[in-house]
Structure 1
Amino acid sequence: MTGEPLRTVPAVLARFDTAMSQFAAAFEDGQYVLWLGSGISRERVPNVYSLLENVIESLRVSIDPTDASCAYRSAFDQVLALANLTADEKAKVDDTVPFADWPLRERITAVLAGNYSKVLDVRVEGKPKDYLVWDVLDVPETYGSPGIEPDVEHYCIALLMLEGLVDSAVTANWDGLVERALSDLMPAFGAVARVIVKPEDFHLPKRPVELVKFHGCAVRARGDVNYRPMLIARMSQISVWATQQQNRPMRKRLESLYTERPTLMLGLSAQDANLHHVFGTAVEDLDRPWSPEAAPAVVLSEESLLPHHAHVLEITYGADYDGHAAEISESAVVGSFGKPTLLALVISSLTRKLEFLLERTLHSTWSQHDVQLLADGLLSLRDYAASHADPRNAQELEPSEISQFQRRFVSLLIDVIHLVLTVFRTGHVPSAGGRRYEPLSDRPVTQAIHSPDFPTEEFGWLSIALALVGRGHASGHWSIASGDSSAPANGVLRLATDQRDTPVFFVKDTAILTALELDGAFDDSRGSALVIIANEEPATMTRSPRSRYGRDGKTRSGRFSVASNTAETASADELFEAFKLAGGF
C-alpha cells in the first residue's frame, strides 16, 4: 500500500469502501481463510524480541565463570554468533552485565529476530534438545496458562467465526486465545469449533469452525506431555516439517486451504520455510492468476509490504507477479495491523448483512434511490460505531492505553449487539456482564436467507429501523447512546435531543413486546420510550385503545411498526417523517 499507515478503524473502513472493496465483498461472503501469527497475541504473550532477550539472559546467568567448558557458555556464544557482531561490537560485550543493560541489546535482538528458529535450535549439552523452548521460555506457563486473557484480535476473530464469515483459520500460535474467546462468547464451544493439533484430530466430527494449529498447542502440552514434541519452533524441526510422514495430513490440509480459498494473513511474518513449502506446493496443484477484477488471493494485514510477504506473493502468483508486482502489492496490503483491520471487518460485515436484508425487503416495492437513502442510514450508523473504536487523543497516549481503550470498545460492542438481538428475538434481557453472543446469522447472509428458520422478513424490518436511526443521527435530529444490559430500562439504545432522552426497544412482534414487559425491562406507562415493532401490529380494539394517550390519561410510549409504516409510505423521506412522529421527535 502506498501512503501513510492506517491506524484507525474509520481509515480502514474507508479503504474497504474504495481500493479494497473487492476484498471486503469477498470476505463478507465467507470466502477468506485466516492465517494467524504471533502478531495477534503480542500484547498478551511475549513477542519474539522478548523471547530472545529471555533466552540470552537465561544463558548468561547460568554461565559458570570457573568452568572453561561450561555448556551454558558454549550455548551463549553460539547465540551471539548468530547476531553477526563485528569485531568492535564483540569487544563491547560484557557478559557480567544483565542483557537488558547492554548498549547493543536492540541491535542484537533485531538481527536475531530474523533467525529466531536458529536461536531456539542451539543445544545446551546435557539438556533436552528443546530445552530453550520448553524450559527457558517456559511454554506451558507463558503460552498455555489459563490466566491469559484474549485480546481485541481474538474476540474479533471469534465474532467473525460465530457470524459464519470465517469457517477455517490456520495458526502458528501456541496460545489458546482464539479458543478462549470463542468459549467466552459461545459456551457450547465443542459444538461450534474443531481444533486440530495432531493428525488424529482430523477424525473429529466436522464443525462450523475449524482451527488448525500446525505448530502445536501450549494449552494441550501443559496438560499432556505427548503434545510437547509437537511444539514447532526450532530450525531443525521447521526444515524437515514438510517432508515428515507424520505431518502429511496437516500439510495436505494447509495446501488444500491455500489452493482452494483466498487468504487473509494477520500477524504472520510467513518467514518459516515450511510455510513457503506449503504455499509453493499449493500453487503447483492449482495456480493463482492475477486479475485486477477479482478479489486478491492473498491479503496482508500489514502497514507495509515486508520482504517475507513479498516472497509469498511471488510464490502465489508465479509468472504473473513479474509483470504486475506493483498492482499485486497494492491489492494485498491493507495498510493496518490486526486490531484496526479486524475491528473494521466486524463492523463492516455486520453492516453489510443488514444492508443486504434491507435491500431484499424493499427492492420490489421502492425505487432504487429510496432504497439507497435508507442504506445510507446504515452506513451512517456504521461510521458512528467506528468513530468510537479509537480514542480521540490517540497521539497523546501510550500504545498500551490505546489497546485498553479498544478492549473496552470490543466489550461494549459485544454487549450492545447481544442486547439488541436478544431483546428483538426473545423479549428477554441477557445477563449483565456476560459475553455470550448470539450472531445475526451463523453464515453469510446470502446463504442464511435460504434457511426456513432464518427470520429474513423480521430482520429486514429491523435493518430498516436501524437505518432510520442512523439517518436521524447523520442529519442531526438526535444523538445516539448505546444501551447496557445492566440497565435494561434505558433501552437497547437511546436517542437524545435537546428536549428529551428516549429509550428505544426493537422487538420482532407484539408477543415479544409482551415478554419484554413481563421481564420488567419495559414499562409502557412510563411514557418516555419508543418501541419499534418489526412486523405489522394487530389493529387496536375499540374497547382497548393503545394510542399514545390512553383512557387513563397517562402518556404511553411511542410505537412504530416498521412493516405497517413501510406499507403506508412510498419513499424514504415519508417513512422517516412517520418515524419521527411516532417517537415524538
Structure 2
Amino acid sequence: MTAGFVRTVPAVLERFGSTFSEFTAAFHEGQYVLWLGSGISRDRVPNVYVLLERVVEHLRSKIVNDDADCEYRAALSEVLRLAGLGREELESVDFSMPAEDWPLRDRILSTLVTNYSRVLDVLVGDDKPEDYLVWTGLDVPNTYGSPDLEPDVEHYCIAILMLEGLVASAVTANWDGLLEKALGELTPAFGSLVRVAVKPDDFRMTGPRIEVIKFHGCAVRARDEEPEYRDLLIARESQISRWTEQPENRSMRKHLEVLYTDRLTLMLGLSAQDANLHTVFAGAIQDLARPWPASPPAVVLSEEHLESYHRNLLKITYGSNHQGNAGVIAESALLGAYGKSTLLALVLSSLTEKLSMLVEHEIERVWGSAAVRQLQTDLLGLRDLAASHADPDDPESLEHSAIVEFQREFAARLIDLTNLGLTVFRAGRMPTAGGGRYVPLSDRPIAQAVLNADYPSKQFGRLGVALALIGRGLASGHWSAVQGDSRAAGDGVVRLVTGQRNARVFFVKDSTTLTELELEGSFDDSDEDVLIVIADTEPPAQTRSPKSRFGRDGKASAGRFSVASSIADTASPDDLYEAFKLAGGF
C-alpha cells in the first residue's frame, strides 16, 4: 500500500514526484475529471453528524406532549429505530430533553450517519411533503443555499485549476454553490466561461470551456427558484435508488458515464457510497473496461484510508482485472492525503510545471538540456520553499480550525501574488488592490498553449528563467524574499533582501509594458531600490536616464535586467545568475 498518509503540502508534492508521478504528469496535461463530495466543504457547511442532530432536534421540538398520535413523535421514533434502538432503549429516551443532552446521543447519531438517506426518507404525517426532513428539517435554503457562505481553500484551488485549463469538468454531489462562487470571484468572465449543469436542459448551453455538473441538485437555485429546482435535490434513499432509472435523469446519467469512461478520475471528499453513483460507474465500464496495469491510474482517491465503498468502486472500475491485482490497484489509487493539501499541492505543482516547460521551450535551443534541467531544479526549489509556508510549523499543537485558517491565508496570498505578478508582467499595471481576481498563466495545458501564435511563450519562458534565478539565490542564502501585495503597489511583486539591499522587483514582458508601469506611477526610475526584470531585449537607453545593460552606472537609478539580452551575453545559467546579481546590486 501507499506508504502512509501525508498531511502537509510539501509531503504531498514529494509523493507527486515519486509514487504518483504518472498521475501528476497526466493531470498537468488536463486528463483528469474531478469528482467532488461533501468533504471539500466540511469546514464551511455542517457535516452529516451535525445535520442529523438538527433533524432529530427539529422533530423532538415539534412534539405535542398530550397528543398520543403526534406525527412528529411517530417520525422521531422511526428515526430512532433506524439507529438500532431496542424497545427498552427507545422508551428510555426522554423527548422533553434537548437531543444534545440525551445519554444515548453519540451512539444514536453515529449510527444514523451511515443511514442518512433512510433517515431523510422518513415521512412526517400524511400532509407534509415527502422531502420535509430535507427541505425543512435540514433547512436547505439557509444551510446550503445561504448567500453568506464563503468558499474555502478547496473551492479556490479547484477554480484556479479550472481557469488554468487543467480541469475542464468537475462533477459534484454537493448542493452548495461554493465552487461556483469561487469561480465568480476569481474571474469576471464567469458567465461565458462556466456552464453549471443541474438539469438536462443545462447541457444544451454551448460555448463555455468549464463545466460544473451538480447531479444531486443545487441549493442555491432551489432557494431562488424553488418550484423548478427543489425536487432536484437528491438525498433520500427512495430518490437515490431510482435515480438512474428515471427518464428525466437519463441525459445526466449518460453525460456522467461518458466522463467516467473517457476520462481519468480524481475524487476529492466524495465517499462514492451512493447506489446511483455505483450504477453510473458500472454502466460506464460496461462500455469500455479499464485495463490493468494502468498508467496513469484510472482512479485516484484523495483519501487517507480506503473504505469498503472505495474498494467496491475500484472493483467496478477494473472489472475482471481487479481479481488478483486488488492490492496494487488500491496502492495506485490511494493518495494518502485529504483535499486541502492535495489541491494546494496541485496548484503549486501545476504552475511550476507550466513554467518549467516554458523554460525548456526557450532555453534548450540556446544552452542545451543540461542547462534546462539546472534552471528547472531551481524552479522546483522555489516551489518547495513556497510550499513550506502552506502549513503551520507545529500543526500537532493547534486546533483544526487554526490549521484551516492558516491554509486559507496562504491560499489568499498565493492568489494575490499570482494575480499581481501576471497582471504587472502582461499589462504593465497593478491589479485592483485586494480585488481577489486570478490571472492564469495559460488557459489550457501548456503543451497546447505554446501552439497558439498569440501566446507569449518566449516571454513567459524568460519569466520562468528569472524566477529560477531568484530560487537559486534563496536556496543558497544569498537573499531572502518578501512577497508583494496588491494593496501596496510600490513594494513590487517581490522584495529581495540582503544585509545591504532591499530591492523591490517588478517583472515586465517588454519595453511597452515597462513604460505603462512607469506611467502608472508604480515605481520611480530614479529609485535605486527598484529592480526591473524585462523578459525581452532591453530597449535602447533613454538620454534622460542612461544606464548600462547590466544595471548600474554610478548614478542613482532603478536597476534593469533584460533576460533575453543577458541570455545572449552569457554562456550558462551560472553566468546568468552572476549577471542578475550584478544588475540588482547584490
Q: Could you tell which deviates more after superposition, 182-191 or 367-376?
A: 367-376
Q: Give the SS at the match of 1:439.
A: coil
Give the Å deviation of 1:484: 0.6
2:238 aligned to 236, 239, 251, which one?
A: 236
For residues 224 and 538 of structure 1, the distance between their equivalents in structure 2, rounded to whole angstroms, comes to 58
For residues 27 and 105 of structure 1, the distance between their equivalents in structure 2, rounded to whole angstroms, comes to 44
Q: Give the SS at the match of 1:363.
A: helix
Q: Residue type matched to 1:534 in 2?
A: A
Give the Å deviation of 1:340: 0.5
Do the aligned partners of 2:169 and 2:212 also contact (CA within 8 Å) in 1?
A: yes
Q: Could you tell which deviates more after superposition, 113-122 or 83-92?
A: 83-92
For residues 502 and 110 of structure 2, the distance between their equivalents in structure 1, rounded to whole angstroms, comes to 55
For residues 297 and 89 of structure 2, the distance between their equivalents in structure 1, rounded to whole angstroms, comes to 45
For residues 544 and 576 of structure 1, the distance between their equivalents in structure 2, rounded to whole angstroms, comes to 25
| Corresponding position: 1:506 with 2:507 | yes
Q: Residue type matched to 2:248 in 1?
A: Q
For residues 535 and 318 of structure 1, the distance between their equivalents in structure 2, rounded to whole angstroms, comes to 54
Q: In the alignment, what sits opposite 1:253?
A: 255
Q: Residue type matched to 1:44 in 2?
A: R
Q: In the alignment, what sits opposite 1:349?
A: 350
For residues 497 and 108 of structure 1, the distance between their equivalents in structure 2, rounded to whole angstroms, comes to 61
Q: In the alignment, what sits opposite 1:382?
A: 383
Superposed CA RMSD in Å reads 1.4
For residues 483 and 542 of structure 1, the distance between their equivalents in structure 2, rounded to whole angstroms, comes to 31
Give the Å deviation of 1:307: 1.2
Q: Residue type matched to 2:576 in 1?
A: L
Q: In the alignment, what sits opposite 2:9?
A: 9
Give the Å deviation of 1:535: 0.5
1:369-415: per-residue Cα shift (whole Å, max 9, x none)? 22111111110110111111111121121111111111111111100
Give the Å deviation of 1:104: 2.6
Q: How does 1:258-407 map to 2 (within 5 A)?
A: 258-291=260-293, 294-407=295-408
Q: Provide the identity percentage.
A: 60
1:471-495: per-residue Cα shift (whole Å, max 9, x none)? 1101111111110111121110011
Give the Å deviation of 1:92: 4.7
Q: How does 1:64-75 map to 2 (within 5 A)?
A: 64-75=64-75
Q: Could you tell which deviates more after superposition, 101-110 or 151-160?
A: 101-110
Q: Could you tell which deviates more after superposition, 78-87 or 260-269?
A: 78-87
| Corresponding position: 1:566 with 2:563 | no
For residues 179 and 501 of structure 1, the distance between their equivalents in structure 2, rounded to whole angstroms, comes to 40
Give the Å deviation of 1:102: 2.4
Change (3 A) 1:202 1:326: same
Give the Å deviation of 1:206: 3.1
Output the TM-score relative to the length of structure 2.
Answer: 0.97
Output the TM-score relative to the length of structure 1.
Answer: 0.97
Q: Could you tell which deviates more after superposition, 559-568 or 115-124?
A: 559-568
For residues 319 and 568 of structure 2, the distance between their equivalents in structure 1, rounded to whole angstroms, comes to 55
Q: In the alignment, what sits opposite 1:46?
A: 46
For residues 468 and 11 of structure 2, the distance between their equivalents in structure 1, rounded to whole angstroms, comes to 22
Change (3 A) 1:503 1:46: same
Q: In the alignment, what sits opposite 1:579?
A: 580
1:297-345: per-residue Cα shift (whole Å, max 9, x none)? 1111111111111110110011111211111111111111110011000
Q: In the alignment, what sits opposite 1:33?
A: 33
Q: Give the SS at the match of 2:532.
A: strand
For residues 541 and 150 of structure 1, the distance between their equivalents in structure 2, rounded to whole angstroms, comes to 48
Q: In the alignment, what sits opposite 1:81?
A: 81
1:40-67: per-residue Cα shift (whole Å, max 9, x none)? 1111111111111111111111122211
Q: Residue type matched to 2:574 in 1?
A: D
For residues 327 and 366 of structure 1, the distance between their equivalents in structure 2, rounded to whole angstroms, comes to 42
Give the Å deviation of 1:430: 0.5
Do the aligned partners of 2:501 and 2:585 also contact (CA within 8 Å) in 1?
A: no
Q: Could you tell which deviates more after superposition, 84-93 or 448-457?
A: 84-93
Give the Å deviation of 1:106: 2.3
Q: Give the SS at the match of 2:481.
A: strand
Give the Å deviation of 1:210: 0.7
The number of aligned residues is 582
Q: Give the SS at the match of 1:376.
A: helix
Q: Give the SS at the match of 2:471.
A: helix
| Corresponding position: 1:117 with 2:143 | no
Give the Å deviation of 1:204: 1.2
Q: How does 1:189-204 map to 2 (within 5 A)?
A: 189-204=190-205
For residues 71 and 91 of structure 1, the distance between their equivalents in structure 2, rounded to whole angstroms, comes to 17
For residues 544 and 483 of structure 1, the distance between their equivalents in structure 2, rounded to whole angstroms, comes to 26
Q: Give the SS at the match of 2:78.
A: helix
For residues 541 and 175 of structure 1, the distance between their equivalents in structure 2, rounded to whole angstroms, comes to 56
Q: Give the SS at the match of 1:123.
A: coil
For residues 542 and 337 of structure 1, the distance between their equivalents in structure 2, rounded to whole angstroms, comes to 58
Q: Give the SS at the match of 2:323.
A: helix
Q: Residue type matched to 1:247 in 2?
A: N
Q: How does 1:395-544 map to 2 (within 5 A)?
A: 395-540=396-541
Q: In the alignment, what sits opposite 1:212?
A: 213
Q: In the alignment, what sits opposite 2:107?
A: 107
1:182-236: per-residue Cα shift (whole Å, max 9, x none)? 0000122111100011111111123110111100011111111210100000011
Do the aligned partners of 2:510 and 2:534 also contact (CA within 8 Å) in 1?
A: yes
Q: Give the SS at the match of 1:161.
A: helix
Q: Residue type matched to 2:45 in 1?
A: V
- Stretches of structure 2 that go unaligned for 5 or more consecutive residues are none
Q: Give the SS at the match of 2:365.
A: coil
| Corresponding position: 1:93 with 2:93 | yes
- Stretches of structure 1 that go unaligned for 5 or more consecutive residues are none
